[in-house]
Structure formats: structure tokens, C-alpha cells
């Protein structure tokens, strides 16, 4: 389809960090001066001039896992963006709109678009207008983790105002959003984190803090069971240890849900780790399984939940946190930071050096 609304100055080529093979970011991405710009829009798409990109663990996990014949590379790495619409084939957005959103992993292998580039074609249902006064380097990190937190708590966990939620991993980027969303609707929030994170997580609204470095979290919860029990447990770390669920009858209320971003195995024996986890959480009770519900999910396009996230921002109930901002030529250093698993908030790359 031709572009019904577009700027005159869209180039044919762009600078981009292309994922070219399976491996670590240092092995498998390449800076390209003249990557093609895909400017021909389908109905319902917009072309965004990217100002900032935010990194996510899924970037390096998919890069390290899938061979080219499945991933359909090359294309720019990364999913989360903030930028300006420069062409639109959708009625909700016009040229000049400042937006943020996600090029979903599920779509990326088909569209071959990515965040670490100057331009990207993206479904209008995967973006929203950037909240007023929010810099692109902050807005870039909202969508993927904001939607994960929102879908996890409200769609999967069915969390209601006044209930009690336990967030395993309060200082993951997903957890930082989830704390604020749960507080925004008036819930009691208990979180885990490492020792140094306690003050920060309490300042965000966490009522109770458990230091996971001092011993297994399930032991602490069994020794000091919450009263009443949690209505929702939201596991945001990607732990492969099924015990937090397996022992949850002691601290998760009957009818409550254990929601998980999914076990994220590492090292050798990944398949076995996943099978072990799934058997523990989905085994029927008549085979000795746990009498609680478990919901594992993968985030994707969800305009209604994205609108809820934006409303939390507009109502000043949600402040997206940034760990660090890196220049476009420092993408590998940015991935090094993310891969420490110690970032508190989003690791962001400035694609346009002039933005804040």
C-alpha cells in the first residue's frame, strides 16, 4: 500500500545494529552503515524515526538460542522504541506524532524490523502516543515491561483493589512496574530483592521486603506466613526453581494464582530444567500436584493494557525507571550492562544523539 501520509525526507538506507547469526551480542551483531529502510507500509502500520531503543533480556536470549533458519535474520536487534511517526497508514497516527511501543518478537522474524536502527515499520496497535514531558530515553523502556507487568497482574492474576500480591523480583524492570501498578489500585505489596535494593523498592511503594540473598524465599514465607495469604504471586525473575510454586499452599490463598514470566533456563540441560519446572507446576493434584493455579505467559500486542499503562503514567502512579543510557556506538557495552542482571530499570540506547 502507498503511504497516505508521509514525510518527504525518508532515506533509502540507515545505520543499524543487525543481528546476523546465533550467538552472544558480541559475536552475532554487526554495525551496518547502509541497511535498507523498509518504508512501504501495510494498512495499520506506521514508519517511526527512532530516537531511543530500550534493551530487554529477550534480545540476547533469542539471539543466543535460535539459528538463522528459524529466526529469519538479518534484521536490527531489539524491540522497544520511542520515536516520531514519519509515515502512517493508520487513522490513529499522523506524521509528527511522538510515540513509543514494541516491535514484538513474534512479528520480528516476519517484518524484519528492529529497534536498534534509525527507522522501523511497526503495527499501530503496538504503539501509543508518548506521554507529555517524557523524554524518548524514558519512554523507550515502557512498553515491553509495562505490558508484562500489567498483563501479569490484571489479565493473568486478576488482581483486585485491596488484595495482597507477592512480587518475586521487585527490582527487575518488570517488577519495578508491577510494584507501582499494584500500589496504584490499592494493593498490599511484598517483594524480594537483594540487600541494597530495599530502600528503593520501599520508596516505590513496596510494603514488605524479603532479601533473597539471605536464603530461599519460600523458607522465609513458610517461617513467616502472610496473614491473610497472598491473592497473587507474580514471579518476574524467570526462576527455574519450581519450589516457590510447589510450596505455595502455605502462603498463596485458595483460588489465588501463581503468575510467571516463564522459567528462563541457563547453561547445560535447558530442556530438562524446563520439563522439571512444568511437571512441578502443571502436575494434577491427584498425582501429587499443588492445589493452586499457575499461569505462565508471553507478552505481546495488547492495546487495552497499553492504554492502562499510559493512564497510570498520566495519573502519576507509574514512573518508568532508567538504569543507564548509552550512545548508539556503545550498543555492546549496553548489552554487557543488561547481561549483568544487576540493572535497576531499563538499559537504553540513544539512536538519535540529540535527544534527552
Ligand X SMILES: NC(=O)c1ccc[n+]([C@@H]2O[C@H](COP(=O)([O-])OP(=O)(O)OC[C@H]3O[C@@H](n4cnc5c(N)ncnc54)[C@H](OP(=O)(O)O)[C@@H]3O)[C@@H](O)[C@H]2O)c1
What does the binding site for ligand X look like in residue numbers (CB under 6 A)?
56-58, 144-145, 148, 169, 171-174, 192-194, 197, 212, 236-238, 261-262, 264, 297-299, 338, 341-344
Q: To the nearest whole angstrom, how small is the minimum distance from the Cβ of residue 347 to ligand X? A: 8
Of 14 and 137, nearer to ligand X (C-beta) is 137
Q: To the nearest whole angstrom, how small is the minimum distance from the Cβ of residue 144 to ligand X? A: 6
Of 119 and 212, nearer to ligand X (C-beta) is 212
Q: What is the DSSP string of 81-111?
A: EEEEEEEE-STT--TT-EEEEE--HHHHHHH
Distant-in-sequence contacts of 1-4, Cβ < 8 A, 24+ apart: 1/40, 1/41, 1/42, 1/43, 1/89, 3/39, 3/40, 3/41, 3/47, 3/87, 3/88, 3/89, 4/88, 4/89
In eight-state DSSP terms, residue 195 is G
3-state secondary structure 262-275: CCCCCCCCHHHHHH
Q: To the nearest whole angstrom, how small is the minimum distance from the Cβ of residue 264 to ligand X? A: 4
- Could you tell me if residue 285 is left (phi over 0), alpha (psi between -120 and 50 degrees) or otherwise beta? alpha
The total number of residues written for the chain in this structure: 356
Of 17 and 166, nearer to ligand X (C-beta) is 166
Of 13 and 106, nearer to ligand X (C-beta) is 106
Q: What angle do CA 345, 176, 129 make, to 5 degrees?
A: 75
Of 179 and 310, nearer to ligand X (C-beta) is 179
Q: To the nearest whole angstrom, how small is the minimum distance from the Cβ of residue 25 to ligand X? A: 14
State the Cα–Cα distance between residues 310 and 132, nearest whole angstrom: 11
State the Cα–Cα distance between residues 268 and 78, nearest whole angstrom: 25
Q: To the nearest whole angstrom, how small is the minimum distance from the Cβ of residue 136 to ligand X? A: 19
Q: To the nearest whole angstrom, how small is the minimum distance from the Cβ of residue 279 to ligand X? A: 19
Name the closest residue to ligand X (Cβ): 238
State the Cα–Cα distance between residues 192 and 208, nearest whole angstrom: 9
Output the nine-digit C-alpha cell for 82: 520511542
Q: To the nearest whole angstrom, how small is the minimum distance from the Cβ of residue 180 to ligand X? A: 13
- Angle, helices 331-339 vs 57-65, to 10°: value is 100
Of 6 and 101, nearer to ligand X (C-beta) is 101
Of 114 and 118, nearer to ligand X (C-beta) is 114
Q: To the nearest whole angstrom, how small is the minimum distance from the Cβ of residue 261 to ligand X? A: 4
Output the nine-digit C-alpha cell for 226: 502472610
Phi, psi of 334 (to 5 degrees): -65, -45
Of 5 and 155, nearer to ligand X (C-beta) is 155
Amino acid at each position: 500500500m502507498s503511504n497516505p501520509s508521509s514525510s518527504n525526507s525518508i532515506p533509502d538506507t540507515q545505520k543499524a545494529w543487525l543481528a546476523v547469526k546465533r550467538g552472544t551480542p558480541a559475536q552475532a551483531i554487526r554495525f551496518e552503515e547502509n541497511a535498507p529502510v523498509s518504508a512501504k507500509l501495510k494498512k495499520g502500520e506506521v514508519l517511526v524515526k527512532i530516537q531511543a531503543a530500550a534493551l530487554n533480556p529477550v534480545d540476547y536470549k533469542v539471539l543466543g538460542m535460535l539459528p538463522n533458519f528459524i529466526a529469519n535474520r538479518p534484521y536490527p536487534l531489539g524491540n522497544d522504541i520511542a520515536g516520531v511517526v514519519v509515515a502512517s497508514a493508520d487513522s490513529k497516527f499522523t506524521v509528527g506524532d511522538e510515540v513509543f511501543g514494541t516491535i514484538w518478537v513474534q512479528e520480528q522474524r516476519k517484518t524484519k524490523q528492529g529497534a536498534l536502527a534509525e527507522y522501523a515499520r511497526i503495527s499501530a496497535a503496538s504503539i501509543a502516543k508518548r506521554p507529555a514531558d517524557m523524554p524518548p530515553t524514558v519512554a523507550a523502556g515502557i512498553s515491553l515491561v509495562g505490558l508484562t507487568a500489567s498483563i501479569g497482574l490484571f489479565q493473568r492474576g486478576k488482581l483486585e483493589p485491596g488484595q495482597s500480591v507477592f512480587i518475586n523480583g521487585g527490582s527487575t524492570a518488570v517488577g519495578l512496574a508491577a510494584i507501582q501498578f499494584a500500589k496504584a489500585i490499592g494493593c498490599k505489596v511484598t517483594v524480594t530483592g537483594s540487600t541494597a535494593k530495599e530502600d528503593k523498592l520501599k520508596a516505590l511503594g513496596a510494603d514488605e521486603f524479603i532479601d533473597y540473598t539471605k536464603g530461599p524465599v519460600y523458607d522465609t514465607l513458610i517461617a513467616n506466613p502472610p496473614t491473610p495469604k497472598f491473592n497473587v504471586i507474580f514471579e518476574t525473575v524467570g526462576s527455574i526453581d519450581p519450589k516457590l510454586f510447589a510450596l505455595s499452599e502455605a502462603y498463596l490463598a485458595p483460588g489465588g494464582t501463581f503468575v510467571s514470566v516463564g522459567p528462563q533456563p541457563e547453561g547445560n540441560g535447558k530442556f530438562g530444567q524446563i520439563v522439571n519446572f512444568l511437571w512441578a507446576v502443571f502436575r494434577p493434584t491427584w498425582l501429587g500436584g499443588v492445589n493452586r493455579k499457575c499461569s505462565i505467559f508471553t507478552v505481546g500486542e495488547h492495546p487495552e493494557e497499553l492504554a492502562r499503562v499510559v493512564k497510570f503514567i498520566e495519573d502519576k502512579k507509574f514512573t518508568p525507571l532508567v538504569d543507564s543510557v548509552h550512545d548508539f556506538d556503545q550498543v555492546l557495552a549496553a548489552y554487557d550492562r543488561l547481561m549483568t542482571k544487576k540493572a535497576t530499570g531499563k538499559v537504553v540506547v540513544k539512536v538519535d544523539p540529540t535527544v534527552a
